[in-house]
Amino acid sequence: MSELSSDDKLVLLQHAISKYEDENTLLEKLKAVLPQKDIDRGIATLIGTQRVRRIGPDVLQNNISHIGELPEIPTHIKEIIDGL
């Protein structure tokens, strides 16, 4: 797998969140793809930029009302998301 850019990681996280809203499940699925540090940093960035919101203690949700639609999935990330 090629090295993912910061933007690629954020897109991957947003699409993974739309697939798995439960944070524990999300973390388990992403561990095979990204280091824990990148996952934590990406989630914090998405929350800080209001692209993702925390609903309750363990649920993450894309903030569609703020961002509109999810970003388009680049082809090199699509197979990673499909494999989650």
Q: pLDDT value at position 65?
A: 83
User: CA-CA distance, 10 to 8, in Å (whole number)?
Assistant: 5
Please determine, for residue 2, whether its predicted confidence score (pLDDT) is greater than 60: no
The three-class DSSP label of residue 20 is: coil
- This prediction has a pTM of 0.88
**Arithmetic mean of pLDDT, 35-47:** 95
User: If you search the block for the tokens 């919101």, which residue do you land on?
Assistant: 53
Q: pLDDT value at position 64?
A: 85
- Long-range CB contacts (< 8 A, 24+ apart) of 45-54? 45/10, 46/10, 46/13, 46/14, 46/17, 51/10, 51/14, 52/13, 52/14, 52/17
**Arithmetic mean of pLDDT, 70-80:** 89
